[in-house]
Amino acid sequence: PERREHYAQQHKNILEAISDRDAVQAELAMRAHIEDVARSLLDPRG
């Protein structure tokens, strides 16, 4: 549940940056999200 909430917040951050046309922030938010997802896939304990 906590991980899902965390990912949902990351998605909101990504969409907000895109909506604001802030390419730098959108890239940073997306990279952070991808790193978190990859980490959780490699280590299910998170």
Query: Looking at residue 44, what is its pLDDT?
Result: 65
Q: How far is CA 45 from CA 12, 21, 35, 39, in A?
A: 24, 35, 15, 9
pLDDT by residue (tens digit) across 1-46?
A: 798 999 999 999 999 999 999 999 999 999 999 999 999 889 867 5
Query: Looking at residue 1, what is its pLDDT?
Result: 74
Query: Looking at residue 8, what is its pLDDT?
Result: 97
Residue keyed to tokens 């299910």? 44
Q: Where are the domains of the chain?
A: 2-42
Region of residue 22 (left: phi > 0; alpha: psi -120 to 50; beta: else): beta
Query: Looking at residue 22, what is its pLDDT?
Result: 99
Q: How far is Cα 43 from Cα 3, in angstroms, rounded to an integer?
A: 13
